[in-house]
Structure 1
């Protein structure tokens, strides 16, 4: 589904204002990664205020040119476009209003999140910390557990995560990390973190059989190549 953002000139309120249309929210984050890590003036010339608001200093970098300038983000030419907004007279043209989002969480490395099903958003990842001899992670409709999700490379705190990033998923309260029993695909917590990719977190897990933990009905969480869609909350 398409994702939108505004970008304005850093030093005035009337020129070079655009509505950016991305093919998806993932494309928006990947475009920003390409821009912010490019060895060009675009790295300093474009700033991300938040997921739907950017600024650019056109003396250093004009954001639409990121799609056609070698070494910046030319791979997104067919996935991103810029619509020029009101430039000359602030009262002469209406501003295109971005549709409100039903749900949005910024994917910032090092932050803590709940993880829930995208199709049935009342199903959450849950780790019952008492009487859980197997250290298994479950899916529950009445309980939920917060996990810290971080890129594995050093100095990555605060960076927006994209699908190809290697990540660790750990409890916020104990030094335990999400891992996978390879033979059966069961999701467990262990002291050794498993390097998953961010895209795997969002697409390579599924719900298994029902179990009863502490008298509560939960479902096993399994790792699967053809998993369900999950989102951070």
Structure 2
């Protein structure tokens, strides 16, 4: 699904204001990574990300729209991103883009993890008081657990995460992280899952059937790692 954002000139309220259309939210974050880490300091110093749908640029240094045509910045996105120059303020209206209800994927922040198909279903970890017990991760419609999600590389706190980043998913209250058992069930471990990438949230995990005890539904499903999983999102 396409993703929209505004970009505003920090030197003026009426010039060089754009609506940016990205092929997807993931493309938006990847474009930002390319611009913000570009060796062309005119762009990396000029363009700023306020949030997922609002950017600023200092056109006295660099115009964000030119990131798609300037070598060494973000030319690889020319078929996935386009900029539309907005009208000025003299008697003309400002186009309003659709608002996206989504979390900002900032490394080191805490999130709930929910199903995109069934957004009332969340990852849930009922911790056992038995220190020898295995703590599994479930999916529930009535309970939820908040996790810290971050890039494994050092000094990346505050970075916007993109699909290729290796990440670790950790509980907030206990030093335990998401890992996968031999039977592919998702569990908590003192050692995080090696090689887990941010894009794995799109297709790596799936759920089993609803669990029952004494004939009563527990309103929980086991969570498994799978090569053909479901789509999840941070909230």
Q: Normalised by the shorter chain, which TM-score bucket?
A: over 0.9
RMSD of the alignment, in Å? 1.6
- For residues 132-159 of structure 1, what are the alpha-carbon distances to aligned partners after superposition, in whole Å with 9 as ceiling and x for unaligned? 7221111111111001000001111111
* CA–CA separation in structure 2 for the residues paired with 1:75 and 1:151: 23
1:143 has 2:143 as partner: yes
TM-score (norm: length of structure 2): 0.93
Note if contact 2:5-2:19 (Cα within 8 Å) is conserved in structure 1.
yes
* CA–CA separation in structure 2 for the residues paired with 1:146 and 1:80: 33
| 2:108 corresponding residue in structure 1 | 110
**Segments ≥4 residues shifted beyond 6 Å:** none
| 1:228 corresponding residue in structure 2 | 230
* CA–CA separation in structure 1 for the residues paired with 2:203 and 2:96: 31
TM-score (norm: length of structure 1): 0.94
Secondary structure at the aligned position of 1:28 is classed as helix
Q: 1:176: Cα distance to partner?
A: 0.1
* CA–CA separation in structure 2 for the residues paired with 1:177 and 1:46: 35
* CA–CA separation in structure 1 for the residues paired with 2:57 and 2:107: 24
1:125 has 2:127 as partner: no
Note if contact 1:86-1:92 (Cα within 8 Å) is conserved in structure 2.
no
Contiguous gaps of at least 5 residues in structure 1 = none
Contiguous gaps of at least 5 residues in structure 2 = none
Q: Count residues with an aligned counterpart.
A: 229
* CA–CA separation in structure 1 for the residues paired with 2:79 and 2:223: 37
| 1:200 corresponding residue in structure 2 | 200
Q: 1:131: Cα distance to partner?
A: 5.4
Match 1:217 to one of 219, 228, 235:
219
